[in-house]
Structure 1
Amino acid sequence: MSQRSGSADLPLHGGRVPRWLADRMTRLGAVVCEAIVHTYGRDELLRRLAHPFWFQSFGAVMGMDWHSSGITTSVIGALKRGLTPLSGELGLHVCGGRGRHSRATPAELLAVGERVGLNGVALAQASRMVAKVDSAAVQDGFDLYLHGFIVSDDGRWVVVQQGMNGGRKQARRYHWLSEGLTSFVDSPHAAIEGPGQGRIVNLADRRAARSRDAQLDLLRTLGPHGILRELSRIEGRDAVATAVEPAPQLELLPHLVMPDRHEVQAGDVVARRLHGSLAAAAERGPLDFAELLQVPGVGARTVRSLAMVAEVMHGAPCRFSDPARFSLAHGGKDRHPFPVPTKVYDHTIGVLKRAVHNAKLGREEQLEALKRLDAQARQLERDAMGQSVEDYIAEERRMSHAYGGRSVFGWEAPPEEAPRSEAVNAKRERRVGG
């Protein structure tokens, strides 16, 4: 993975994840991570968590708001709850979190180091340096409020942290990966996500090496008081600008734009990928999940969700340019693109847990079936046809009650009550700002 892999605009959203969804996110997040570690190893899971597009898609497939900054908090929280009981088995430890939990990260890392034989002092120092670089060396107008540090038993780690700009109601997420990291101040980021703010001060860019050296020379030559005296003689920023070399343009990077609107629109989804997943679920499901399809409640709708979860587990980075598509697996807590189908969600978790459990016992058939489901989706998407995104969402909303549809506004009403229910929910959404 390249040191810096992209950026994204994230609207800043408040609110809390309801308990009924947080519990499901914990279970689904943990079992997906188990499957990835079992199939590809711990290092691959860390690489994926350091990839901003995959991270957003991961949160979307878990039923969190597909476009918002809240995915960062909820995913880190779900992984901390879900992976902590498995830390001895997987060799992965999730530390930190939001607010006061972020400040406790160094102490948590010291405890992990003592428990598994790592250099906890070095890990704590790495945590502090990462936070310091993104809060001081990268001056982009965002104040850090979340810091998640995930470390493996062999000392490799990934950091996901996020800052907010309250004035613009925007957030920026930063990803760090220890793999290939040689310096904390020379282009260390795996990725930075957030809205473009024009030119920013990024002293952690390798092209700022001359600037860092010059600042150290000034400090050694003049000392802090001498620097303050010199600054007092400068009249305005224009005088400074004429004395330094013009800053180079920042390199162009892949940029994921998350809109502020809640609804999922056709342009947010790569339709051929959606059609490939649906076609694979229809063709491979009866073949590869014959035993599972005999379980009451596990049917075609669950297999469609499994096809999207399978892509999160097995897909290449280029497959995650449209995170909104993954919200079509389990909806969203705010009824966008549709209410969370809790029955489908629970069956998805059940199928995955069973597949991972059997794989640990040497019976790989069900995990391999999920892998084939993903491969078949990529093969079929070149020619597959199907519903439009709008029709797919409309059908999901129509069937929501049957699927156990639930949102922050409550349970979905039966179809005969839908017109009144839709009006009530629309009124509630307007009241809470969308």
Structure 2
Amino acid sequence: MPKLYFNGKRTADLPLHYGHVPAWLAQRMSALAGPVIESIILEYGHAAVLTRLSDPLWFQAFGAVLGMDWHSSGITTSVMGALKRALNNRFDDLGIYVCGGKGKHSRETPNEIVRLSDRTGLNGTELVRSSKLSAKVDNTAVQDGFQVYLHTFVITRSGEWAVIQQGMNELTGMARRYHWRSGMFTSFVETPHSFIYGHNQGEILNLTDKNAISTKNAILDVAHQDLQYMLPEIRKIVMPTHHNVTAADVNLKRLGSILALAQENEVRRFDDLLLMEGVGPRTIQSLTLVSEVIHGTPARFTDPARFSFAHGGKDGHPFPVPTKVYDETINILKSSVEHARIGDSDKATAIKNLTVLAQQLEHNFEPDPSSFDKVIEKERRDSHLYGGRTVFGKSKPPRNGQLKLF
């Protein structure tokens, strides 16, 4: 059989991380993920949630906003776990449900789909088939050296679905994430993926490639299977293997406009608009990045590392998770959703306008590259004031002028 190249548009590195998400962060991730998704549903509908989940850059930015390490494979497991905890017990209300997970939980996906279908009248047989086929294609039809170990199947009340699954290659220490979206393809073996998210590592066996027709014909002669062909579209995004966040990882013009908006004088300027009495500049910084996750267009997510400036990262990169700011962001977003549900959209509009205001500032903003490290240094120095935490412990005040994080 010939070996074929992936030659799509974008791929990205996802270094394998084997750590765990501490309880204090996992609880907050679910608490924030829920109102973010609910805000998208209220503003744009269920289909928009699936479209965002099938975009790897949006997904990576979402995970960074939730406080996960901005570039690692752990984002996939933790984000989908947070969504499952936040959404499933509110299906009757929100109309979106997450099945599956990592390892043994992925094998429970068919049973979870059937139980939901029995309860709602959805076509469980077809949904289970879609789940199994998506896993088979990524594990068997595309043999790229990555063994699928995580499979999640997201269903809306109308029966639309998305798949987010991930494979690992322990020899290279890399992961590859696969994104599917119902309605974006006509056959499971004919341009099925919305994206494949991973590092291009050279030659692979790809039975969905159009150039594999002779190979497939030989297989058909033996197995009499109706295999189709077409190269899946791939977004090629080069994600670095380094753990820390550098200026090169971030669009400084975009980040700079957000930081400028969050300064005291800007907050005072927009008090009446924001309708958020007493909210400080650090919370505005987080809310603006969360606002962009909810309302931003696809072109705004090309630098997912920028979104780690909302709530840091559990390993301390770019800085410890500011739990006090995180909790304030959760409370404000929950409040805006609750008010929007009863027809009072002032807070939701104010949060949406943060994205607009940041983009307006961005037009004429000239970033100072030398200030990037100073921003991170300040965040780390002040981390103890914001309840900073990492997997290593709580942030402590600087001693004798020396910065001490843990």
**TM-score surpassing 0.5?**
yes
Q: What is aligned with 1:127?
A: 131
Cα offsets for 1:137-171 (capped at 9, x unmatched) = 00000011100100001110000000000011100
Q: Could you say what secondary structure the match of 2:67 adopts?
A: coil
Displacement of 1:294: 2.7
Q: What is aligned with 1:116?
A: 120
Stretches of structure 1 that go unaligned for 5 or more consecutive residues are 222-247, 426-434
Is 1:28 aligned to 2:32, yes or no?
yes
Q: What is aligned with 2:345?
A: 364
CA contact under 8 A between 1:289 and 1:369: conserved in structure 2?
Answer: no
State the AA in 1 paired with 2:140. Answer: A
CA distance in 1 between counterparts of 2:39 and 2:281 reads: 22
Q: What is aligned with 1:341?
A: 322
State the AA in 1 paired with 2:252. Answer: A
CA contact under 8 A between 1:7 and 1:52: conserved in structure 2?
Answer: no
Q: What is aligned with 1:235?
A: none
State the AA in 2 paired with 1:337. Answer: P
CA contact under 8 A between 2:315 and 2:391: conserved in structure 1?
Answer: yes
Map 1:26-425 to 2 at 5 A: 26-209=30-213, 211-220=215-224, 253-282=234-263, 285-286=267-268, 288-290=270-272, 293-295=276-278, 298-385=279-366, 388-416=371-399, 419=402, 421-422=404-405
Stretches of structure 2 that go unaligned for 5 or more consecutive residues are 1-7
CA distance in 1 between counterparts of 2:9 and 2:339 reads: 36
CA distance in 1 between counterparts of 2:254 and 2:381 reads: 23
Q: Could you say what secondary structure the match of 1:8 adopts?
A: coil
* Larger Rg computed on CA atoms: 1
CA distance in 2 between counterparts of 1:75 and 1:374 reads: 23
CA distance in 1 between counterparts of 2:61 and 2:356 reads: 18
State the AA in 2 paired with 1:110. Answer: V
CA contact under 8 A between 1:13 and 1:68: conserved in structure 2?
Answer: yes
Cα offsets for 1:55-95 (capped at 9, x unmatched) = 00000011001110000000000000001122111110110
CA distance in 2 between counterparts of 1:6 and 1:288 reads: 39
CA distance in 2 between counterparts of 1:60 and 1:35 reads: 18
Displacement of 1:418: 6.9
CA distance in 2 between counterparts of 1:213 and 1:56 reads: 38
CA distance in 2 between counterparts of 1:287 and 1:206 reads: 57
State the AA in 1 paired with 2:251. Answer: V
Cα offsets for 1:183-217 (capped at 9, x unmatched) = 11111011001111112112123554554334202
CA distance in 1 between counterparts of 2:234 and 2:147 reads: 23
Q: CA RMSD in A?
A: 2.2
Aligned length: 392
CA contact under 8 A between 1:50 and 1:175: conserved in structure 2?
Answer: yes
Range that drifts further, 28-37 or 250-259 = 250-259
Distance 1:217 1:86, change over 3 A: same
Range that drifts further, 211-220 or 41-50 = 211-220
- Percent identical among aligned pairs is 51
Distance 1:420 1:349, change over 3 A: closer
**TM-score (ref. length: structure 1):** 0.86
Distance 1:118 1:289, change over 3 A: farther
Displacement of 1:180: 2.6
Displacement of 1:125: 1.1
CA distance in 2 between counterparts of 1:65 and 1:145 reads: 20
State the AA in 1 paired with 2:237. Answer: L
